[in-house]
Amino acid sequence: MEALRDHYGTPTDRIVVLSEDAPDPAARATRTSVRRAIRGLASRLTATDVVLVVLIGHSSFDGVDAKFNLVGPDMEAGEWNQLLTSLAGRVVFVNTTGGSSPFIKRLAARNRVVITATHSPAQKYDTVFPQFWVEALASAETDLDRNGRISVWEAFARASSGVRRWYDQQGQLATERAMLDDTGDGVGRDVATEGEDGLLASRTFFDAEPAMASGDPTIAVLVSRRDQLELELDELKRKRSFMPPGDYERELERVLVSLARVSREIRRKAKS
């Protein structure tokens, strides 16, 4: 919470923290509180918003149901997916627990980034990933491309590096390997593996879109259009091997030209 508030300027009324031992019963991490919080967000969000959901604690998987442990009844991954589907905008879902790997397949969706601390159901022990995830959010060193903003991919990469370094320092074989999926195929990849995942996460930031600071509603429309074009571009690249070269080049040119025009208009309006 502190990192979002202090480093990224997220208003406190946009941060919801539920915990096991909260004095206020409404703030306890129960199934009812989770559902209430997400439904409350759903009533306020727009297509240009980004929702970050971070789970810290314990998950379980019995070969059929993947659950995150709560006070009282636990929540199965399918129920999480149902709740997240009700949210407008982009969702970043981070399960930092052991036993989290099944969530990547069950929550994968278009315009969604899913991160799990583990890559296999066999990795069910306590993880050190949450420690390094929190550190990554608060560290300027996470900004790998030095553009003044920290992306979800950069945080994932730095946290993964911290986990690997921790096990090396302990002289232990790593019992966890974080995964990220943002193509919606439910497969994902780790930070060291080549793959299509990571494009959306690289364009998703923890701070607000700078161009939106003016409050101009026309900029919000343009940003939404830009986001849609970027998703089209990602999907087009994934389809390249199945398309005739000529069709691919024409579609690529169309999307890139539209994207350039929209981006230029956003910059123009942001300066005026």
Same domain, 224 and 159: no
Q: pLDDT (tens digit, 9 = 90+) per residue, 113-131?
A: 999 999 999 998 899 999 9
Q: At which of 202, 237, 256 does a domain end?
A: 202
The pair of three-digit structure tokens given for residue 38, joined into one six-digit string:
């997400």
Same domain, 255 and 154: no
- Binned at pLDDT 50, 70 and 90, residue 66 comes out as very high
Q: What is the rounded distance in angstroms from the CA atom of residue 51 to the CA atom of residue 38? A: 10
Give the CATH number for residue 180: 3.40.50
Determine the pLDDT at residue 242: 86
DSSP string spanning 21-68? T-SSGGGB-BHHHHHHHHHHHHTT--TT-EEEEEE-S-EEE-SS-EEE
Same domain, 68 and 135: yes
Same domain, 76 and 120: yes
Query: What is the arrangement of strands in the sheet containing 59-61, beginning at the earlier edge strand?
Result: 59-61, 66-68, 75-76
> Residue 259: is its pLDDT beyond 90?
no
Q: Domain range for residue 245?
A: 210-271
Same domain, 24 and 92: yes
Same domain, 193 and 262: no
Same domain, 138 and 169: yes
pTM of the entire predicted model:
0.85
Same domain, 54 and 162: yes
Q: pLDDT (tens digit, 9 = 90+) per residue, 166-184?
A: 999 999 999 999 999 999 9
Best mean pLDDT range from 166-175, 201-210, 221-230, 251-260: 166-175
DSSP assigned state of 205: B
Q: What is the rounded distance in angstroms from the CA atom of residue 135 to the CA atom of residue 177? A: 17
pLDDT averaged over the chain? 92
Q: pLDDT (tens digit, 9 = 90+) per residue, 21-50?
A: 999 999 999 999 999 999 999 999 988 899
H-helix or E-strand spanning residue 104: helix 102-107
Residue found by looking up tokens 């302990």 in the block: 170
> Residue 140: is its pLDDT beyond 70?
yes
Same domain, 61 and 161: yes
> Residue 215: is its pLDDT beyond 80?
no
Same domain, 166 and 259: no
Same domain, 139 and 231: no
Same domain, 42 and 105: yes
Mean pLDDT of 93-117: 97
Q: At which of 169, 202, 235 does a domain end?
A: 202
